[in-house]
Structure 1
Amino acid sequence: MEKMKLVNLFNFVFFCWWSLTGISCYTFDDVYRLKEDLFKKSNYSTMVRPKLNQSEQTEINIHLFLRQLLELNSREQVMRTMGWFTITWVDEKLRWNPDNYGGIIEMNVLQKEIWIPDLTATNSIDEDAIFGGDNLRVYVNYTGNIDWEPGFTFTTSCIVDVTMFPVDYQTCSVTVAPWMTTNQEIFINETKVVTDNLLVPNGQFDIVDSSATNDFFTLSGNPSNTLTQSNFTLKLKRKATFYLLNVIGPIAAISFLCGVSFLVPSESGEKLTVSITVLLSLTVFLGVIDASLPKTSDSISYFVIYVTSLIGMSFLAVVGNSIIISIHNKNPGATIPNCLKLLLIRKYKKLKSKEEANGKVFPEFLDRNSVISVTNLELSCCGICGKGIAPACNHWPEVAKIVDRVALILFSLVLVAINARFSFLMM
């Protein structure tokens, strides 16, 4: 029984001690007195770097927390990002003993009340890329540790390489450096990019990697006068589904209409219309693509080369169909070139052999004394006369059909090769 009383007494004493030490009891007067002591009685100046030994550097740590990639404009070559920085350093003039001020271990003050590093985004195209604002709050710990978290919406320059568009990867950076101070005063010690669950997805790009590095530059040729520049780099992968479904697929399908135009009969009147329509369609698609690409010759997109090649093939299809229509409507009395005549004779010999096998009669093989019904005699004025072509017949439509077939085969092979090569490059 006595033992239980001792245990209960011990628990009661421990609970009271824990309650008294675990509760902060500072008042308004404590906070007011602390600020008076730190900023007025100590002659604190926002213009003087808070280092007791001014020959020593003030080390700064910078972490970039990315909230959203707003846009990567390939044409303008700029990236817009939104997020905040967590910037920490030690202010040796802002230290105190919490026991003297009611247990205050930290407080927040206005940015304009303390010294802050003059950091800026050096690759920003905005007029004012200086961090923070006078009314931004800064956390101050009793050890002198400062936690400054300025938000940002930066528009920074980014060199875009569109060679592999639309399955390309882009590397863009937000570059941060002191504006007027060098490494003799400020040294950027640690940098980091944080992309966590707070990141809002972008509809055009995925962030596949991020990194932070420091570069050192010598100013005015003086080795002792150096500057640290921090690069917060994002590696972006373009989401190509939109382009595959809405641009590449239709272009590939339309391109094969160049070959299909040679299947349209010359007498139909639509042969040239089909090839011209294909040419205009590809030209419109090229204009749509050009609106998304930068006006630069540093890199040429394989996609643009692909579409330009198809436009060239479409132009040749227009020219070829024009020539075929001209051949089809040529004067029957015009002489057929020997190369085309050989193709035509070969075609008719095949036709003759096929019809002989079917029991059809050709005039040159008839016996003059034989009797045969006229209804059973099929005469072809455009057949074979001896070893040549019957001169009184119009063979130009047949020549046009032969050229159509040859053009169909050639264009189909070339178009398949162009599309296969582009598909291989995009893999």
Structure 2
Amino acid sequence: MGLWLRILITGMVMISQTGAYRGHEEQLRNDLFRTYNQLILPAESTLVVISVRIMHFEMDERRHSLMVDTWFSIEWTDPRLKWNPEEFGGINKIHVPYEMLWIPDIAIYNSANGGEDMAFGTTQALLYYNGSIVFVPSVKLDFSCVMDLTLWPHDSHNCTCVIGSWVHDGIAIDLHLKADKPESNLPVRVTNGGRNLTRNSWDLVDSNITREVQNYLCCPEPYVMIHLSMLLTRDAPAYEWIIKGPAIGLSLLTMVLFLLPPAAGEKVLFGILCLILDMLFIAYASYTISLAPTHLPLIVELICKQATLVITSIVVGVVSLRMARDPHSLGLPSFIKTPVLRLSSLLCIESYKNLASRVHHYQYSPNVLKTDEYDMKENGNGHVYTADDVSSTFPSFDWLLLSAFMDRICLIIFAIIFVVNLYKFSAIL
């Protein structure tokens, strides 16, 4: 019986204390906000302390803007909201909807949303007995950040959000910083293989927050601004396979065109196929990179140059094909044929050299043929020439030699261009 009595008495005491607390809090709120006007500054000069905790960020490449989810901490003192805790049952702090308080008119100067106000949601502020207020809303900072995509997909960007009072000068609202670096609480999950998994394809390399005081010619009062700077670098391993691999592969395919036989009609078809692949790659890169108004990404420059080389190779292939296939009534002039014959060994086209030399010899001594037929192998049409045909067809073999010579020279030139491009564009490959 004594136990139940003690429980009953304890419950009644707790209820009475709760009721007393509610009564004191209600009285306190009535006293504080009876004549309070949230549109009037707390004092002639109000010190506002700001700190930022970065929770998440996302780069919008099409809008050239950066969206940062933050816990935006604002602290200041309002002398009109002081009270003595002893007079209100020991209450030393209460939570208050921020709409009931005077809030510093902090805005984003370089907002990407056309000057929209910072949205504080439904977060409430903590009000302490000495008049100090701590307000920590969850704020999305959406600000402009013009991106330099020259080194895409290995680009880095230094984005800065400029924050300050939209109406008041630095005397009325003096902004200060709690720390010179924002805190970071980015979600990262580490896999079993040691890889970090994040929500986006960017890494936060460094961040800092600084205070700047600026004077304008129109006004003698100083104006205080807060600069939140973030250095971001792209971390997208998939681009190594989606972008860099095809870019190198398309460059190599152009050289393959000149390894085909001089009279092979597939050369032109292969060149057109390479050109189509280059155009598709340029279209994909343009869609992915979006707008880059004042600069040209190196990867796009590389593929555009590659497309120009493919067009050149198609033209050279058509000329080479025509020299190797068309009937010719005259052979090569001696001033062309002599250096071609001398350089043929260095260019690994001795088979074409021997072919042209033998047929030229057979023009004057056709009886030295050991067989009734002579297979021209890589002439492209699969025709088998007899000793009787040689006297009328030997000029074609001179032109076939020149076609093979031109293919080898183009192969060397394109190989040199490929190596030079690898060195020039090594920053993105």
Is the pair's TM-score, using the shorter chain for normalization, greater than 0.5? yes
Distance 1:277 1:24, change over 3 A: same
Give 1:262-277 correspondences, 5 Å limit. 262-277=258-273
Aligned in 2, Cα 1:271/1:68: closer, same or farther, shift over 3 Å?
same
Distance of aligned partners of 1:345 and 1:146 in 2 relative to their CA distance in 1, 3 Å threshold: closer
Tell me how large the CA RMSD over aligned residues is.
Answer: 3.3
Distance apart, 1:301 and its partner CA: 2.1
Q: C-alpha offsets along residues 189-243 of structure 1, whole Å, 9 cap, x if unaligned?
A: 11555343454634211111111112223345222x2211111111101014222
The aligned residue for residue 359 of structure 1 is none
- Aligned residue for 1:3? none
Does residue 253 (structure 1) correspond to residue 283 (structure 2)? The answer is: no
Distance 1:400 1:303 in 2: 33
**Alpha-carbon contact 2:362-2:368 (below 8 Å) kept:** no
1:60 to 48, 51, 59: 48
User: Cα offset for 1:380?
Assistant: 10
SS of match in other structure, 2:71:
strand
Q: For the structure 1 residues 392 and 119, does the alpha-carbon distance in structure 2 shift closer, same or farther, using more than 3 Å as the test?
A: closer
1:31 aligned partner, one-letter code: E
Query: C-alpha displacement at 1:63, in angstroms?
Result: 1.3
> How many residue pairs end up in the alignment?
379
Deviations 1:173-197 (A, max 9, x none): 2221111111120010115553434
Equivalences for 1:73-222 in 2 at 5 Å?
Answer: 73-126=60-113, 129-132=116-119, 135-190=122-177, 192=179, 193-199=181-187, 201-219=198-216, 221-222=218-219
Match of 1:48 among 34, 40, 43: 40
Counterpart amino acid of 1:196? S
Cα distance between partner residues in 2 of 1:278 and 1:191? 59
Q: 2: distance between equivalents of 1:207 and 1:228? A: 26
Instruction: Describe the SS at the equivalent of 2:310.
Output: helix
**Secondary structure at the counterpart of residue 233 of structure 1:** strand
2:313 & 2:79 partners in 1: Cα distance?
79
Residue 28 (str. 1) matches residue 15 (str. 2): no
- Cα gap change, 1:216 to 1:294, in 2 (>3 Å): farther
Q: How does 1:272-291 map to 2 (within 5 A)?
A: 272-291=268-287
2 CA distance for matches of 1:147 and 1:408?
72
Question: 1:111–1:137: 8 Å Cα contact kept in structure 2?
Answer: yes
Whether the aligned pair in 1 keeps the contact of 2:363 and 2:391 (CA below 8 Å) is no
Compared with structure 1, are the counterparts of its residues 33 and 340 closer, same or farther at alpha carbon in structure 2 (3 Å cutoff)? Answer: same
Q: 1:87 Cα deviation (Å)?
A: 0.5
Q: 1:255 to 1:113 in 2, by over 3 A?
A: same
1:111–1:134 contact (8 Å) kept in structure 2: no
Closer, same or farther: CA 146–379 of 1 in aligned 2, 3 Å: closer
Question: Is 1:419 the equivalent of 2:422?
Answer: yes
Q: How far apart are 1:79 and its partner, in Å?
A: 1.4
Corresponding residue of 1:323 = 319
TM-score by length of 2: 0.79
CA contact (8 A) 2:73 2:135 kept: yes
Contact persistence 2:66–2:142 (CA under 8 A): yes
Percent identity for Structure 1 against Structure 2: 22
Give 3-state SS (helix, strand or coil) of 2:79's partner: coil
Q: Which is worse superposed, 284-293 or 170-179? A: 284-293
> 2 CA distance for matches of 1:373 and 1:116?
107
Residue of structure 2 equivalent to 1:18: none
Maintained 8 Å contact 2:362/2:391: no
Written as runs of structure 1 = structure 2, the 5 A alignment for 1:285-364 is 285-293=281-289, 295-346=291-342
CA contact (8 A) 2:161 2:228 kept: yes
What does the per-residue CA deviation read over 1:93-143, in whole Å, with 9 as the maximum and x for residues that have no partner?
111121111111110111121111111122112256323458541110112
Deviation at 1:333, TM superposition (A): 0.6
Closer, same or farther in 2 for the Cα pair 1:390/1:214, shift >3 Å? Answer: farther
Q: Secondary structure of the equivalent of 1:27? A: helix
- Aligned equivalent of 1:401: 404
Distance 1:380 1:236, change over 3 A: closer
Cα 1:354–1:315 change in 2 (3 A) is closer
Structure 1 unpaired stretches of 5+: 1-22, 356-361, 367-371, 383-388
Displacement of 1:262: 0.9
Q: Secondary structure at the match of 1:212?
A: strand
CA distance in 2, matches of 1:344, 1:148: 84
Q: Runs of 4 or more off by more than 6 Å in structure 1? A: 348-355, 362-366, 376-382
Report the Cα distance in structure 2 between the residues aligned to 1:232 and 1:352, rounded to whole angstroms.
70
Q: Which runs of 5+ in 2 are unaligned?
A: 1-16, 189-197, 356-360, 380-389
SS state at 2:81 partner: coil
1:305 shift after superposition: 2.1
- Pair 205,61 (structure 1): closer, same or farther in 2 beyond 3 Å: same
Matched AA of 2:324: H
Change (3 A) 1:352 1:163: closer
Q: Is the 8 A contact 2:120 2:139 kept in 1?
A: no
Deviation at 1:342, TM superposition (A): 1.5
- Equivalent position amino acid for 1:203 in 2: N
Against the structure 1 CA distance between its residues 232 and 268, is the aligned structure 2 distance closer, same or farther, given a 3 Å change threshold? same
Say if 2:54 and 2:68, in contact at 8 Å, map to a contact too: yes
Aligned 8 A contact 1:74 1:292 in 2 = no
> Whole-Å Cα distance in 2 between the matches of residues 254 and 162 of structure 1?
22
What is the CA distance between 1:244 and its match in structure 2? 1.4
